[in-house]
Amino acid sequence: MPLAARIQNAALLAKVMTAEQAAELIPVGANVGMSGFTGAGYPKAVPQALAARLAALHASGQTDARIGLWTGASTAPELDGALAKAQGIEMRLPYQSDPTCRKLINAGQMLYTDMHLSHVAQAAWFGFLGKLDVAVVEVVGILPDGRLIPSTSVGNNKTWLDQADKVILEVNLHQDPALEGMHDIYYGTQLPPHRLPIPLVKASDRIGQTHLQCDPAKVIAVAVTDHADRNAAFDPPSEVSSQIAGHIIDFLQHEVKSGRLPKELLPLQSGVGNVANAVLAGLNQGPFENLTAYTEVLQDGMLDMLRSGKLAFASATALSLSPDAAAEFKGNIDFYRERIVLRSQEISNHPELVRRLGVIAMNAMIEADIYGNVNSTHIMGSSIMNGIGGSGDFARNAYLSIFMTPSVAKDGQISCIVPMVSHHDHTEHDVQVIVSEQGLADLRGLAPTQRAQLIVERCAHPSFRPQLLDYMARARHSAAGLHTPHMLDEALSWHSRYLKTGRM
Ligand code: COA
Protein backbone atom coordinates (compact mmCIF):
# COMPACT_ATOMS: atom_id res chain seq x y z
CA MET A 1 0.00 0.00 0.00
CA PRO A 2 1.56 3.38 -0.96
CA LEU A 3 2.33 5.72 1.93
CA ALA A 4 -0.19 8.27 0.68
CA ALA A 5 -2.96 5.71 1.21
CA ARG A 6 -2.03 5.50 4.92
CA ILE A 7 -1.27 9.20 5.35
CA GLN A 8 -4.13 10.83 3.47
CA ASN A 9 -3.59 14.33 4.86
CA ALA A 10 -1.22 16.21 2.54
CA ALA A 11 0.16 18.54 5.23
CA LEU A 12 1.03 15.60 7.46
CA LEU A 13 2.44 13.55 4.57
CA ALA A 14 4.83 16.45 4.02
CA LYS A 15 6.07 16.02 7.60
CA VAL A 16 7.32 12.45 7.06
CA MET A 17 10.93 12.09 8.18
CA THR A 18 13.19 9.38 9.60
CA ALA A 19 12.81 8.22 13.18
CA GLU A 20 16.27 9.67 13.90
CA GLN A 21 15.21 13.10 12.62
CA ALA A 22 12.00 12.89 14.65
CA ALA A 23 13.92 11.89 17.80
CA GLU A 24 16.16 14.96 17.38
CA LEU A 25 13.05 17.11 17.93
CA ILE A 26 12.47 15.76 21.45
CA PRO A 27 14.20 18.09 23.92
CA VAL A 28 16.42 16.53 26.59
CA GLY A 29 14.58 16.76 29.91
CA ALA A 30 11.14 16.74 28.25
CA ASN A 31 8.17 14.85 29.61
CA VAL A 32 7.17 12.55 26.76
CA GLY A 33 3.78 10.80 26.61
CA MET A 34 4.08 7.68 24.48
CA SER A 35 1.39 5.30 23.30
CA GLY A 36 1.46 1.66 24.39
CA PHE A 37 -0.41 -0.63 26.71
CA THR A 38 0.72 -4.16 27.70
CA GLY A 39 2.94 -4.57 24.68
CA ALA A 40 0.42 -3.23 22.15
CA GLY A 41 0.31 -0.10 20.01
CA TYR A 42 3.59 1.41 21.26
CA PRO A 43 5.87 3.44 18.94
CA LYS A 44 8.72 1.24 17.76
CA ALA A 45 11.18 3.38 15.81
CA VAL A 46 11.27 6.81 17.48
CA PRO A 47 11.99 5.49 21.02
CA GLN A 48 14.92 3.42 19.73
CA ALA A 49 16.28 6.42 17.82
CA LEU A 50 15.82 8.55 20.95
CA ALA A 51 17.64 5.93 23.06
CA ALA A 52 20.57 5.99 20.60
CA ARG A 53 20.64 9.78 20.74
CA LEU A 54 20.61 9.87 24.56
CA ALA A 55 23.32 7.20 24.70
CA ALA A 56 25.48 9.31 22.36
CA LEU A 57 24.93 12.37 24.57
CA HIS A 58 25.96 10.35 27.63
CA ALA A 59 29.10 9.20 25.80
CA SER A 60 29.95 12.82 25.03
CA GLY A 61 29.77 13.72 28.71
CA GLN A 62 26.15 14.89 29.06
CA THR A 63 25.40 12.18 31.60
CA ASP A 64 22.11 13.70 32.80
CA ALA A 65 20.47 13.55 29.33
CA ARG A 66 17.16 11.85 30.16
CA ILE A 67 13.42 12.20 29.62
CA GLY A 68 10.31 11.69 31.73
CA LEU A 69 8.40 8.77 30.18
CA TRP A 70 4.62 8.46 30.51
CA THR A 71 2.65 5.73 28.75
CA GLY A 72 -0.64 3.88 28.99
CA ALA A 73 0.94 0.89 30.71
CA SER A 74 3.83 -1.52 29.97
CA THR A 75 5.39 -1.46 26.50
CA ALA A 76 8.14 -3.62 25.00
CA PRO A 77 11.91 -3.93 24.49
CA GLU A 78 11.86 -1.34 21.66
CA LEU A 79 10.50 1.32 24.02
CA ASP A 80 11.01 0.71 27.75
CA GLY A 81 13.88 -1.69 27.13
CA ALA A 82 15.79 0.56 24.71
CA LEU A 83 15.38 3.74 26.76
CA ALA A 84 16.22 1.98 30.04
CA LYS A 85 19.34 0.33 28.59
CA ALA A 86 20.45 3.79 27.45
CA GLN A 87 19.89 5.10 31.02
CA GLY A 88 17.56 7.56 29.31
CA ILE A 89 14.60 7.65 31.72
CA GLU A 90 14.55 10.01 34.68
CA MET A 91 10.96 9.33 35.77
CA ARG A 92 8.68 6.53 34.58
CA LEU A 93 4.91 6.32 35.05
CA PRO A 94 2.35 4.72 35.43
CA TYR A 95 3.16 0.96 34.88
CA GLN A 96 6.08 -1.05 33.55
CA SER A 97 7.11 -4.68 33.37
CA ASP A 98 10.47 -4.38 31.63
CA PRO A 99 13.39 -6.26 33.25
CA THR A 100 15.92 -3.43 32.73
CA CYS A 101 13.49 -0.78 34.04
CA ARG A 102 12.77 -2.99 37.04
CA LYS A 103 16.50 -3.42 37.73
CA LEU A 104 17.20 0.33 37.51
CA ILE A 105 14.21 1.26 39.66
CA ASN A 106 15.20 -1.25 42.32
CA ALA A 107 18.81 -0.03 42.17
CA GLY A 108 17.62 3.52 42.84
CA GLN A 109 18.71 4.68 39.38
CA MET A 110 15.28 5.40 37.89
CA LEU A 111 12.34 7.09 39.57
CA TYR A 112 8.97 5.39 39.19
CA THR A 113 5.49 6.63 40.08
CA ASP A 114 3.14 3.65 40.25
CA MET A 115 -0.43 4.86 39.63
CA HIS A 116 -3.95 3.46 39.23
CA LEU A 117 -4.34 3.39 35.45
CA SER A 118 -7.71 5.15 35.46
CA HIS A 119 -6.14 8.08 37.34
CA VAL A 120 -3.42 8.93 34.86
CA ALA A 121 -5.36 10.95 32.28
CA GLN A 122 -7.17 13.03 34.87
CA ALA A 123 -3.95 13.61 36.82
CA ALA A 124 -2.42 14.98 33.62
CA TRP A 125 -5.46 17.23 33.07
CA PHE A 126 -5.41 18.40 36.70
CA GLY A 127 -1.76 19.41 36.22
CA PHE A 128 -0.61 17.05 38.95
CA LEU A 129 2.16 15.47 36.86
CA GLY A 130 3.78 18.60 35.46
CA LYS A 131 3.83 19.70 31.83
CA LEU A 132 3.59 17.18 29.00
CA ASP A 133 5.96 18.43 26.34
CA VAL A 134 5.81 15.87 23.54
CA ALA A 135 3.46 13.02 22.56
CA VAL A 136 4.76 10.09 20.47
CA VAL A 137 1.81 8.01 19.35
CA GLU A 138 1.57 4.97 17.07
CA VAL A 139 -1.35 5.11 14.64
CA VAL A 140 -2.58 2.87 11.84
CA GLY A 141 -3.27 5.74 9.47
CA ILE A 142 -4.24 9.38 9.03
CA LEU A 143 -7.49 10.50 7.36
CA PRO A 144 -7.66 13.44 4.89
CA ASP A 145 -9.01 15.74 7.63
CA GLY A 146 -6.18 14.81 10.02
CA ARG A 147 -8.12 12.43 12.26
CA LEU A 148 -6.10 9.39 13.33
CA ILE A 149 -6.90 5.68 13.09
CA PRO A 150 -5.88 4.29 16.49
CA SER A 151 -3.69 1.19 16.77
CA THR A 152 -3.90 -1.98 18.87
CA SER A 153 -4.16 -0.02 22.11
CA VAL A 154 -5.79 3.27 23.03
CA GLY A 155 -4.42 3.79 26.55
CA ASN A 156 -3.88 7.49 27.29
CA ASN A 157 -3.42 8.54 23.65
CA LYS A 158 -6.36 10.93 23.59
CA THR A 159 -4.96 12.78 26.59
CA TRP A 160 -1.37 12.81 25.32
CA LEU A 161 -2.51 14.22 21.95
CA ASP A 162 -4.62 16.88 23.68
CA GLN A 163 -2.14 17.83 26.39
CA ALA A 164 1.25 17.77 24.66
CA ASP A 165 2.69 20.93 23.10
CA LYS A 166 4.15 18.90 20.23
CA VAL A 167 3.14 15.62 18.63
CA ILE A 168 5.14 12.98 16.76
CA LEU A 169 3.05 10.36 14.97
CA GLU A 170 4.45 6.95 14.12
CA VAL A 171 2.44 5.33 11.34
CA ASN A 172 2.88 1.55 11.59
CA LEU A 173 2.30 -0.09 8.22
CA HIS A 174 2.27 -3.52 9.86
CA GLN A 175 -0.93 -2.76 11.77
CA ASP A 176 -4.03 -3.76 9.82
CA PRO A 177 -6.02 -0.80 8.35
CA ALA A 178 -9.09 -2.94 9.04
CA LEU A 179 -8.68 -2.05 12.74
CA GLU A 180 -10.53 1.15 11.76
CA GLY A 181 -13.94 1.13 13.41
CA MET A 182 -13.01 -1.02 16.40
CA HIS A 183 -12.28 1.93 18.69
CA ASP A 184 -14.59 4.13 20.73
CA ILE A 185 -12.93 7.37 21.83
CA TYR A 186 -15.04 9.34 24.30
CA TYR A 187 -14.52 13.09 24.21
CA GLY A 188 -17.13 13.92 26.87
CA THR A 189 -14.91 13.96 29.97
CA GLN A 190 -14.75 17.23 31.89
CA LEU A 191 -12.87 18.49 34.91
CA PRO A 192 -14.64 18.93 38.26
CA PRO A 193 -16.93 20.71 39.01
CA HIS A 194 -18.29 20.32 35.46
CA ARG A 195 -18.29 16.51 35.23
CA LEU A 196 -21.38 14.71 33.96
CA PRO A 197 -22.31 11.02 34.15
CA ILE A 198 -20.57 8.89 31.52
CA PRO A 199 -23.42 7.52 29.36
CA LEU A 200 -22.32 3.88 29.23
CA VAL A 201 -24.66 1.23 30.65
CA LYS A 202 -23.57 -1.96 28.83
CA ALA A 203 -20.10 -3.31 28.03
CA SER A 204 -20.99 -3.16 24.32
CA ASP A 205 -22.20 0.48 24.30
CA ARG A 206 -20.48 2.92 21.99
CA ILE A 207 -20.41 6.45 23.41
CA GLY A 208 -17.69 8.18 21.39
CA GLN A 209 -16.10 8.25 17.98
CA THR A 210 -13.94 5.81 16.09
CA HIS A 211 -10.95 8.14 15.56
CA LEU A 212 -8.54 10.22 17.61
CA GLN A 213 -8.46 13.97 17.10
CA CYS A 214 -5.22 15.89 16.85
CA ASP A 215 -4.50 19.48 15.88
CA PRO A 216 -2.30 19.03 12.74
CA ALA A 217 -0.50 22.27 13.61
CA LYS A 218 0.99 20.54 16.69
CA VAL A 219 2.42 17.66 14.65
CA ILE A 220 6.16 18.23 14.29
CA ALA A 221 7.03 14.91 12.66
CA VAL A 222 5.55 11.78 11.13
CA ALA A 223 7.72 8.64 11.21
CA VAL A 224 6.91 5.36 9.49
CA THR A 225 7.48 1.81 10.77
CA ASP A 226 6.54 -1.69 9.69
CA HIS A 227 6.84 -3.90 12.78
CA ALA A 228 4.52 -6.15 14.75
CA ASP A 229 3.73 -5.59 18.42
CA ARG A 230 6.15 -7.72 20.38
CA ASN A 231 4.34 -10.00 22.81
CA ALA A 232 5.57 -13.32 24.12
CA ALA A 233 3.45 -16.46 23.90
CA PHE A 234 1.60 -17.43 27.07
CA ASP A 235 2.67 -20.57 28.93
CA PRO A 236 0.16 -23.41 28.51
CA PRO A 237 -2.03 -23.46 31.66
CA SER A 238 -0.09 -25.19 34.48
CA GLU A 239 -1.77 -27.63 36.85
CA VAL A 240 -1.75 -24.96 39.57
CA SER A 241 -3.39 -22.35 37.30
CA SER A 242 -5.98 -24.87 36.14
CA GLN A 243 -6.81 -25.69 39.77
CA ILE A 244 -7.22 -21.96 40.54
CA ALA A 245 -9.50 -21.64 37.50
CA GLY A 246 -11.51 -24.66 38.66
CA HIS A 247 -12.13 -23.12 42.10
CA ILE A 248 -13.25 -19.83 40.55
CA ILE A 249 -15.66 -21.57 38.17
CA ASP A 250 -17.17 -23.64 41.02
CA PHE A 251 -17.59 -20.46 43.05
CA LEU A 252 -19.27 -18.58 40.19
CA GLN A 253 -21.62 -21.52 39.60
CA HIS A 254 -22.51 -21.48 43.28
CA GLU A 255 -23.25 -17.75 43.06
CA VAL A 256 -25.58 -18.36 40.09
CA LYS A 257 -27.37 -21.15 42.00
CA SER A 258 -27.72 -18.87 45.02
CA GLY A 259 -29.31 -16.15 42.87
CA ARG A 260 -26.51 -13.64 43.43
CA LEU A 261 -25.38 -13.72 39.79
CA PRO A 262 -27.34 -14.07 36.55
CA LYS A 263 -26.60 -17.21 34.51
CA GLU A 264 -24.57 -15.25 31.97
CA LEU A 265 -22.69 -13.73 34.98
CA LEU A 266 -21.75 -10.02 34.97
CA PRO A 267 -19.01 -8.44 32.82
CA LEU A 268 -15.63 -10.06 33.48
CA GLN A 269 -12.36 -8.26 34.10
CA SER A 270 -9.28 -10.40 33.89
CA GLY A 271 -5.82 -9.24 34.94
CA VAL A 272 -2.48 -9.79 33.28
CA GLY A 273 -0.16 -12.79 33.31
CA ASN A 274 -0.22 -16.53 32.91
CA VAL A 275 -2.56 -17.29 35.80
CA ALA A 276 -5.18 -14.85 34.48
CA ASN A 277 -4.87 -16.33 31.00
CA ALA A 278 -5.31 -19.85 32.42
CA VAL A 279 -8.51 -18.78 34.20
CA LEU A 280 -9.89 -17.63 30.85
CA ALA A 281 -8.96 -21.00 29.34
CA GLY A 282 -10.92 -22.61 32.20
CA LEU A 283 -13.95 -20.39 31.54
CA ASN A 284 -13.77 -21.33 27.87
CA GLN A 285 -14.24 -24.99 28.87
CA GLY A 286 -16.72 -24.07 31.62
CA PRO A 287 -20.50 -24.07 31.82
CA PHE A 288 -21.23 -20.35 31.25
CA GLU A 289 -22.60 -18.98 27.97
CA ASN A 290 -23.16 -15.52 26.51
CA LEU A 291 -20.59 -13.86 28.77
CA THR A 292 -19.35 -10.29 28.37
CA ALA A 293 -16.07 -8.65 29.35
CA TYR A 294 -15.41 -5.11 30.58
CA THR A 295 -11.69 -5.30 31.04
CA GLU A 296 -8.43 -3.57 30.43
CA VAL A 297 -6.43 -6.03 28.35
CA LEU A 298 -7.69 -8.60 25.93
CA GLN A 299 -5.30 -11.59 26.11
CA ASP A 300 -5.36 -14.76 23.99
CA GLY A 301 -7.83 -16.43 26.36
CA MET A 302 -10.56 -13.90 25.60
CA LEU A 303 -10.02 -14.24 21.87
CA ASP A 304 -10.52 -18.01 22.22
CA MET A 305 -13.74 -17.34 24.14
CA LEU A 306 -15.03 -14.93 21.48
CA ARG A 307 -14.31 -17.54 18.81
CA SER A 308 -16.00 -20.34 20.71
CA GLY A 309 -19.03 -18.11 21.31
CA LYS A 310 -18.74 -18.38 25.12
CA LEU A 311 -17.98 -14.66 25.16
CA ALA A 312 -20.46 -12.49 23.28
CA PHE A 313 -18.66 -9.15 23.55
CA ALA A 314 -15.46 -7.67 24.99
CA SER A 315 -14.58 -4.08 25.87
CA ALA A 316 -10.92 -3.27 26.60
CA THR A 317 -8.21 -0.69 26.01
CA ALA A 318 -5.60 -2.99 24.45
CA LEU A 319 -5.11 -6.22 22.54
CA SER A 320 -2.22 -8.08 24.17
CA LEU A 321 -1.86 -11.12 21.93
CA SER A 322 0.80 -13.76 21.39
CA PRO A 323 2.18 -13.91 17.82
CA ASP A 324 -0.11 -16.85 16.93
CA ALA A 325 -3.20 -15.14 18.35
CA ALA A 326 -2.26 -11.86 16.62
CA ALA A 327 -2.08 -13.68 13.26
CA GLU A 328 -5.43 -15.33 13.85
CA PHE A 329 -6.92 -11.97 14.87
CA LYS A 330 -5.64 -10.36 11.67
CA GLY A 331 -7.11 -13.15 9.55
CA ASN A 332 -10.57 -12.76 11.09
CA ILE A 333 -10.64 -9.08 11.89
CA ASP A 334 -14.17 -8.52 10.53
CA PHE A 335 -15.50 -11.12 12.99
CA TYR A 336 -13.68 -9.47 15.88
CA ARG A 337 -14.66 -5.90 14.93
CA GLU A 338 -18.29 -6.85 15.61
CA ARG A 339 -17.40 -8.17 19.05
CA ILE A 340 -14.61 -5.97 20.44
CA VAL A 341 -14.44 -2.29 21.31
CA LEU A 342 -11.21 -0.56 22.37
CA ARG A 343 -11.58 2.52 24.60
CA SER A 344 -9.35 5.01 26.40
CA GLN A 345 -8.05 3.58 29.69
CA GLU A 346 -9.80 6.32 31.67
CA ILE A 347 -13.06 4.73 30.39
CA SER A 348 -12.09 1.01 30.33
CA ASN A 349 -11.03 1.31 34.00
CA HIS A 350 -13.43 4.03 35.16
CA PRO A 351 -14.68 3.48 38.75
CA GLU A 352 -18.15 4.84 37.87
CA LEU A 353 -18.52 2.32 35.05
CA VAL A 354 -16.96 -0.63 36.88
CA ARG A 355 -19.44 -0.04 39.72
CA ARG A 356 -22.42 0.51 37.41
CA LEU A 357 -21.78 -2.58 35.30
CA GLY A 358 -21.09 -4.79 38.34
CA VAL A 359 -17.80 -6.13 37.03
CA ILE A 360 -16.37 -9.44 38.29
CA ALA A 361 -12.71 -8.53 38.84
CA MET A 362 -10.12 -11.32 38.79
CA ASN A 363 -6.53 -10.25 39.40
CA ALA A 364 -3.31 -12.04 40.23
CA MET A 365 -1.21 -10.98 43.23
CA ILE A 366 2.20 -11.47 44.83
CA GLU A 367 0.94 -12.24 48.36
CA ALA A 368 -2.01 -11.84 50.71
CA ASP A 369 -2.03 -11.76 54.46
CA ILE A 370 -4.20 -13.71 56.86
CA TYR A 371 -6.67 -10.81 57.07
CA GLY A 372 -7.00 -10.44 53.29
CA ASN A 373 -4.78 -7.45 52.58
CA VAL A 374 -3.15 -7.88 49.17
CA ASN A 375 0.28 -6.99 47.80
CA SER A 376 0.28 -6.92 43.98
CA THR A 377 3.49 -5.05 43.39
CA HIS A 378 6.42 -5.57 45.76
CA ILE A 379 8.84 -8.42 46.46
CA MET A 380 9.88 -8.58 50.13
CA GLY A 381 8.51 -5.11 50.82
CA SER A 382 11.10 -3.11 48.92
CA SER A 383 11.52 -4.20 45.28
CA ILE A 384 8.94 -3.36 42.64
CA MET A 385 7.76 -6.16 40.36
CA ASN A 386 5.55 -4.37 37.79
CA GLY A 387 3.03 -1.98 39.29
CA ILE A 388 -0.58 -1.83 40.47
CA GLY A 389 -1.92 -1.46 36.93
CA GLY A 390 -5.68 -1.46 36.82
CA SER A 391 -6.14 -3.92 39.66
CA GLY A 392 -7.15 -1.19 42.10
CA ASP A 393 -9.51 0.52 39.65
CA PHE A 394 -11.41 -2.75 39.36
CA ALA A 395 -11.01 -4.28 42.84
CA ARG A 396 -12.41 -1.35 44.80
CA ASN A 397 -15.43 -0.89 42.55
CA ALA A 398 -16.22 -4.43 41.42
CA TYR A 399 -19.37 -6.42 42.17
CA LEU A 400 -17.01 -9.24 43.11
CA SER A 401 -13.34 -8.67 43.73
CA ILE A 402 -11.28 -11.88 43.41
CA PHE A 403 -7.50 -12.15 43.95
CA MET A 404 -5.60 -15.26 42.96
CA THR A 405 -2.13 -16.70 43.49
CA PRO A 406 -0.33 -20.02 43.71
CA SER A 407 -0.03 -20.77 47.46
CA VAL A 408 3.78 -20.85 47.29
CA ALA A 409 6.51 -19.24 45.16
CA LYS A 410 10.18 -20.00 44.45
CA ASP A 411 10.02 -23.79 44.67
CA GLY A 412 7.95 -23.72 47.82
CA GLN A 413 10.38 -21.56 49.83
CA ILE A 414 7.95 -18.62 50.00
CA SER A 415 4.40 -18.72 51.30
CA CYS A 416 2.10 -16.40 49.35
CA ILE A 417 -0.11 -16.28 52.45
CA VAL A 418 1.78 -14.44 55.19
CA PRO A 419 0.97 -12.95 58.61
CA MET A 420 1.24 -9.39 57.27
CA VAL A 421 1.81 -8.30 53.67
CA SER A 422 5.13 -6.56 53.13
CA HIS A 423 3.41 -3.88 51.00
CA HIS A 424 -0.27 -2.90 50.77
CA ASP A 425 -1.95 -2.36 47.41
CA HIS A 426 -5.48 -3.58 48.15
CA THR A 427 -6.70 -3.39 51.70
CA GLU A 428 -8.97 -5.97 53.33
CA HIS A 429 -11.89 -3.65 52.44
CA ASP A 430 -11.38 -4.20 48.70
CA VAL A 431 -10.79 -7.95 48.74
CA GLN A 432 -13.78 -10.28 48.80
CA VAL A 433 -12.38 -13.57 47.57
CA ILE A 434 -8.89 -15.10 47.75
CA VAL A 435 -8.07 -18.19 45.77
CA SER A 436 -5.02 -20.42 45.42
CA GLU A 437 -4.68 -23.94 43.98
CA GLN A 438 -5.49 -25.18 47.51
CA GLY A 439 -8.96 -23.65 47.55
CA LEU A 440 -11.07 -20.50 47.71
CA ALA A 441 -11.88 -18.27 50.68
CA ASP A 442 -15.13 -16.29 50.38
CA LEU A 443 -14.55 -13.42 52.78
CA ARG A 444 -17.76 -11.46 52.26
CA GLY A 445 -19.31 -10.25 55.48
CA LEU A 446 -16.65 -11.80 57.72
CA ALA A 447 -14.74 -10.16 60.58
CA PRO A 448 -10.91 -10.18 60.49
CA THR A 449 -10.44 -13.22 62.74
CA GLN A 450 -13.03 -15.19 60.72
CA ARG A 451 -11.27 -14.13 57.51
CA ALA A 452 -7.92 -15.32 58.86
CA GLN A 453 -9.25 -18.76 59.76
CA LEU A 454 -10.78 -19.24 56.31
CA ILE A 455 -7.81 -17.92 54.32
CA VAL A 456 -5.35 -20.16 56.14
CA GLU A 457 -7.62 -23.24 56.00
CA ARG A 458 -8.55 -22.84 52.34
CA CYS A 459 -5.65 -21.08 50.60
CA ALA A 460 -2.38 -21.63 52.48
CA HIS A 461 -0.04 -24.42 51.42
CA PRO A 462 -0.02 -27.37 53.89
CA SER A 463 3.71 -26.87 54.45
CA PHE A 464 3.08 -23.37 55.88
CA ARG A 465 -0.40 -23.87 57.39
CA PRO A 466 0.74 -25.00 60.89
CA GLN A 467 3.12 -22.01 61.11
CA LEU A 468 0.28 -19.62 60.20
CA LEU A 469 -2.14 -21.23 62.68
CA ASP A 470 0.54 -20.99 65.36
CA TYR A 471 1.02 -17.26 64.60
CA MET A 472 -2.73 -16.67 64.81
CA ALA A 473 -3.08 -18.56 68.10
CA ARG A 474 -0.20 -16.75 69.76
CA ALA A 475 -1.37 -13.37 68.43
CA ARG A 476 -4.78 -13.95 70.07
CA HIS A 477 -3.04 -14.27 73.41
CA SER A 478 -0.50 -11.52 73.17
CA ALA A 479 -1.84 -8.83 70.80
CA ALA A 480 -2.74 -5.43 72.21
CA GLY A 481 -6.21 -5.70 70.63
CA LEU A 482 -8.27 -8.66 69.47
CA HIS A 483 -10.02 -7.18 66.43
CA THR A 484 -7.09 -7.78 64.06
CA PRO A 485 -4.59 -9.53 66.33
CA HIS A 486 -0.95 -9.09 65.33
CA MET A 487 2.38 -9.53 67.02
CA LEU A 488 4.13 -6.51 65.59
CA ASP A 489 7.63 -7.77 66.27
CA GLU A 490 6.84 -11.00 64.36
CA ALA A 491 4.41 -9.82 61.67
CA LEU A 492 7.10 -9.28 59.04
CA SER A 493 9.56 -11.84 60.40
CA TRP A 494 8.64 -14.29 57.61
CA HIS A 495 10.00 -11.88 55.01
CA SER A 496 13.18 -11.09 56.95
CA ARG A 497 13.73 -14.83 57.52
CA TYR A 498 13.48 -15.43 53.76
CA LEU A 499 15.99 -12.65 53.07
CA LYS A 500 18.39 -14.15 55.61
CA THR A 501 17.92 -17.90 55.02
CA GLY A 502 16.20 -18.36 51.64
CA ARG A 503 13.06 -19.84 53.27
CA MET A 504 10.17 -18.18 55.07
N1 COA B 1 7.23 -13.54 46.83
C2 COA B 1 8.27 -13.43 45.98
N3 COA B 1 8.14 -13.66 44.65
C4 COA B 1 6.93 -14.03 44.19
C5 COA B 1 5.83 -14.18 45.03
C6 COA B 1 6.01 -13.92 46.40
N7 COA B 1 5.00 -14.03 47.25
N8 COA B 1 4.76 -14.56 44.28
C9 COA B 1 5.17 -14.63 43.00
N10 COA B 1 6.49 -14.31 42.94
C11 COA B 1 7.31 -14.25 41.75
C12 COA B 1 7.25 -15.54 40.96
O13 COA B 1 8.16 -16.49 41.48
C14 COA B 1 7.63 -15.06 39.58
O15 COA B 1 9.03 -14.85 39.57
P16 COA B 1 9.91 -15.10 38.26
O17 COA B 1 9.45 -14.06 37.27
O18 COA B 1 11.30 -14.88 38.75
O19 COA B 1 9.60 -16.50 37.84
C20 COA B 1 6.96 -13.69 39.50
O21 COA B 1 6.77 -13.27 40.85
C22 COA B 1 5.60 -13.69 38.77
O23 COA B 1 4.77 -14.63 39.39
P24 COA B 1 3.76 -15.58 38.56
O25 COA B 1 3.24 -16.59 39.55
O26 COA B 1 4.42 -16.07 37.31
O27 COA B 1 2.55 -14.63 38.29
P28 COA B 1 1.89 -13.82 37.11
O29 COA B 1 2.59 -13.89 35.80
O30 COA B 1 0.49 -14.25 37.16
O31 COA B 1 2.04 -12.31 37.68
C32 COA B 1 1.75 -10.46 39.17
C33 COA B 1 1.63 -11.98 38.95
C34 COA B 1 1.15 -10.11 40.50
C35 COA B 1 3.25 -10.05 39.17
C36 COA B 1 1.03 -9.73 37.99
O37 COA B 1 -0.29 -10.20 37.90
C38 COA B 1 1.00 -8.22 38.19
O39 COA B 1 1.93 -7.52 37.84
N40 COA B 1 -0.10 -7.71 38.79
C41 COA B 1 -0.25 -6.32 39.13
C42 COA B 1 -0.98 -5.55 38.08
C43 COA B 1 -2.36 -6.08 37.83
O44 COA B 1 -2.97 -6.73 38.64
N45 COA B 1 -2.84 -5.79 36.63
C46 COA B 1 -4.12 -6.27 36.19
C47 COA B 1 -5.14 -5.22 36.21
S48 COA B 1 -6.09 -5.26 34.78
Q: What SS3 state is found at 301?
A: helix
Q: How far is the CA of 344 from the centre of ligand 1 (A)?
A: 25
Each residue's pLDDT tens digit, 335-383: 999 999 999 999 999 999 999 999 999 999 999 999 999 999 999 999 9
Q: Give the DSSP H or E segment for 303.
A: helix 300-308
Mean pLDDT rounded to a whole number for the chain = 96
pLDDT in tens, 90-106: 999 999 999 999 999 99
Q: What is the pLDDT of residues 235-288, one digit of tens each?
A: 788 999 999 999 999 999 999 999 999 999 999 999 877 788 888 888 999 899
pLDDT tens, residue by residue, 176-215: 999 999 999 999 999 999 999 999 999 999 999 999 999 9
Ligand 1 pocket residue status of 430, Cβ below 6 Å: no
Distance CA 186, CA 168 (A): 22
- The DSSP bridge partners found for residue 402 are 362, 433
CB atoms within 10 A of CB 58: 16
User: Pocket of ligand 1, candidates 277, 385, 396, 417: which has the most ligand atoms within 8 Å of its Cβ, to mutate?
Assistant: 385
208 lines ligand 1 (CB under 6 A): no
Q: How many Cβ atoms from other residues are within 10 Å of residue 212's Cβ?
A: 25
Type of residue found at 42 = Y
Report, in angstroms and rounded to the nearest whole number, the Rg of the chain calculated over CA atoms: 23
So what's the pLDDT on residue 158?
98
> At how many degrees (to 10) do helices 465-478 and 448-459 cross?
160
Across the chain, which distance is largest between two alpha carbons, in Å?
77
Mean pLDDT of 160-166: 98
Of the chain, the percentage scoring pLDDT greater than 90 comes to 94
Nearest CA to ligand 1 atom 9: 366
Instruction: Report the share of the chain in percent with pLDDT over 70.
Output: 100
Q: Answer whether 296 contacts ligand 1 (Cβ < 6 A).
A: yes
Is 272 close to ligand 1, i.e. is its CB under 6 Å away?
yes
Q: How far is the CA of 138 from the centre of ligand 1 (A)?
A: 29
Please report how many Cα atoms fall inside a 13 Å half-sphere around the Cα of residue 332, on the Cβ side.
14
Average pLDDT over residues 478-501: 96
pLDDT at position 231 over 80: no
pLDDT tens digits, one per residue of 141-155: 999 999 999 999 999
The band of 233, judged by pLDDT with boundaries at 50, 70 and 90, is confident
Q: pLDDT tens-digit profile of 13-40?
A: 999 999 999 999 999 999 999 999 999 9
The rounded Å distance from CA 378 to ligand 1 centre is 9
How close is the Cα of 277 to the center of ligand 1, in Å? 13
Ligand 1 pocket, residue 402 CB under 6 Å? no
Distance 495 CA to ligand 1 centre (A): 16
Q: What is the pLDDT of residue 232?
A: 77
Using CA atoms, how far apart are residues 499 and 483, in angstroms rounded to an integer?
30
Cα 366 to ligand 1 centre (Å): 5
Q: How far apart are CA 95 and CA 91, in angstroms?
A: 11
Q: Which of 410, 421, 435 to mutate to test the pocket of ligand 1 (most atoms within 8 A of CB)?
A: 410
Q: Of all protein residues, whose CA lies closest to atom 29 belonging to ligand 1?
A: 273
Catalytic residue among 78, 296, 367, 437: 296
- Is 385 near ligand 1, meaning CB less than 6 Å away? yes
Is the C-beta atom of 33 inside 6 A of ligand 1? no
Per-residue pLDDT tens digits for 425-460: 999 999 999 999 999 999 999 999 999 999 999 999
For residue 106, what pLDDT is reported? 98
Q: What is the pLDDT of residue 464?
A: 98
Answer yes or no: are the C-beta atoms of 97 and 118 closer than 8 Å. Answer: no
Choose between 233 and 494: higher pLDDT.
Answer: 494
pLDDT at 206: 98
- Catalytic-residue membership of 170: no
